[in-house]
Structures are given as structure tokens and as C-alpha cells.
Amino acid sequence: MTPQLRNLLAVYKTTLNSEEFESFEREVNRLLNHYHDLLASYRPGAERATVTHELIEEQISLNSHIKTTCQKGCGACCHLEVEISEDDADRLAQSILQQGIVIDEERLQAQATRQRLDSQWAEGAIQSNRCVLLGDDNACRNYENRPAVCRKHSVVTPVSECETLGGNPVPRLIPLNEIIISSAISQEGNQFGALPKMLAAALTRLRDVQKIHNLDFKDGAESNISPREADPSSEKAP
């Protein structure tokens, strides 16, 4: 489960009577199983990430009456330690390579070497913490393919709470999105980790695959042997 979903269950356990909480917990587990089975029916990687994102966006649309203070160009949360799934990383890396988006590889690798909850992340909006996809205008340069956590995260408090080191931003919580993301990260093999680590690994993996494809294409293009000549058992024409 996501930390937010675990916290919600903990709060309800202390505020509801035992019968009410058991009913609520059963419903949460039913939904977790439902979305787990649904997402399991899609191919791991970019395809499953896309479906997960569509489900999240649907819930955001249904809850649009809950107004947030987030807007294009804020960028404060783009300097935090963000965790994504391997599916998210595959979709993100795939789109970066396909669109030719240039990123600061040196900063990505430096961030990828950090331990979880590294103290450097607590320093806030400094250059070394800056997401490699954040543009000069403080807007995401790959917004269409942003990870699940970036999609569901928004706050209802003033922007100053995000911009001030040690501020107290209050996120908008959509319980079903926490269930959807929990179901996604519970998929077999869908590892969950810091965005820099996951993105760096996905880029390496996809680049290696691309090199193999390029070699196969090159070998095929340079071959002038006809199918008949390539098969010694075939009968040559007179």
C-alpha cells in the first residue's frame, strides 16, 4: 500500500467503531483485488503504466470540485524525492528516447546514487535536487508521460507552504487513486523506487535494446544474399 492509504486505514481504525472499520477495510481489500486483477491483464511496462495513468486521471476528473493551488510553473515538488514504479520508468524512458528529450545525465546519475531518504532531498529547491525533466520555466518537459505519483499529487494549501523549507503543504487525498497505485506497485516484478534510480535503469535498459535492434537491422541491410541462396536445400533456378 502507499503510505497515504496506510495512514488512512490507521486513522479510520481509531475513529470508527470495530464494525464500521471492518466494513471499510473489506471494501478497500475488494477494490485492491479488483484493480490488481485489472492491471495484471495488461503487458508490464509502458502499456500497464498508461492504463494506470488513465484510471488516475479519471478519478482526478471526478474530484475536480476539490480545488487545488497547484499550477504550471510551481515546480516545488519537482525538487523532492519522488518514488515511481518500473512501469512508470519504462513509459518515461521510452518517451524521452522517442521524443529526443535532452536531460542532464550527470545530475540524473548523481541523484540515482543517493540512498533512500537522503538528507540532500531535505534541502529543498536547489539545483542538485532539480528533476531532470523540469524546464527553465519550472514546468515539466514531459508532462504527458509523467509518473503516477506526479499525477495524483496536488495540494490545497497556499503555494508558499510548498516553496518554504519546512512548510506544511496539505495534499488533496483521493482514496481510490491510492488504491489504484497500491494495486499497480503490487504487480509481480513492478519494482518501486526513487525516480532517478528507476529512470536511469530504464534508460540503460531501453538503450541496450535499441543497440541490439540497430545491429540486427544493419546486418539485415548489408546482406545481399537472396532467400533462395541462403537456403542450401532449395533448388536453384537454371
pLDDT digits (tens, 9 = 90+) for 22-37: 999 999 999 999 999 9
The more confidently predicted of residues 214 and 104 is 104
pTM for the whole structure: 0.85
151: CB partners within 8 A, 6+ apart: 53, 56, 57, 60
Mean pLDDT of 188-192: 94
Confidence of residue 163 (pLDDT cuts 50, 70, 90): confident
Average pLDDT for the chain: 90
Q: Higher model confidence: residue 219 or residue 182?
A: 182
Query: Where does residue 141 fall: left (phi above 0), alpha (psi -120 to 50 degrees), or beta otherwise?
Result: alpha
Burial of 132 (0-12, 13-18, 19+ CB in 10 A): buried
Question: C-alpha 70: how far from its chain's center?
Answer: 19
The count of other CB atoms within 10 Å of the CB of residue 115 is 8
Strands 83-85 and 192-194: antiparallel
Please say if the pLDDT value at position 231 is more than 50: no
Query: Quick one: cell of 182?
Result: 497500491
Nearest CA among 43, 31, 45 for reference residue 1: 31
Phi-psi region of 138 (alpha: psi -120 to 50; beta: other; left: phi over 0): left
Sequence-distant (6+) residues with CB within 8 A of 138 are 73, 74, 75, 78
Q: Residue 191, class by beta-carbon neighbours within 10 Å (0-12 exposed, 13-18 middle, 19+ buried)?
A: middle
Q: What is the signed CA dihedral for 10, 177, 160, 83, rounded to 10 degrees?
A: 90
User: What torsion, rounded to 10 degrees, do the Cα atoms 105, 111, 115, 116 define?
Assistant: -110
Of the pLDDT bands very low, low, confident and very high (cuts 50, 70, 90), residue 211 is confident
CB contact at 8 A, 11 and 25: no
Q: What is the pLDDT of residues 62-111, one digit of tens each?
A: 999 999 999 888 899 999 999 999 999 999 999 999 999 999 999 999 99
Q: What is the pLDDT of residue 221?
A: 52
Q: How confident is the model at residue 214 (pLDDT cuts 50, 70, 90)?
A: confident
Q: What is the DSSP letter of 145?
A: G
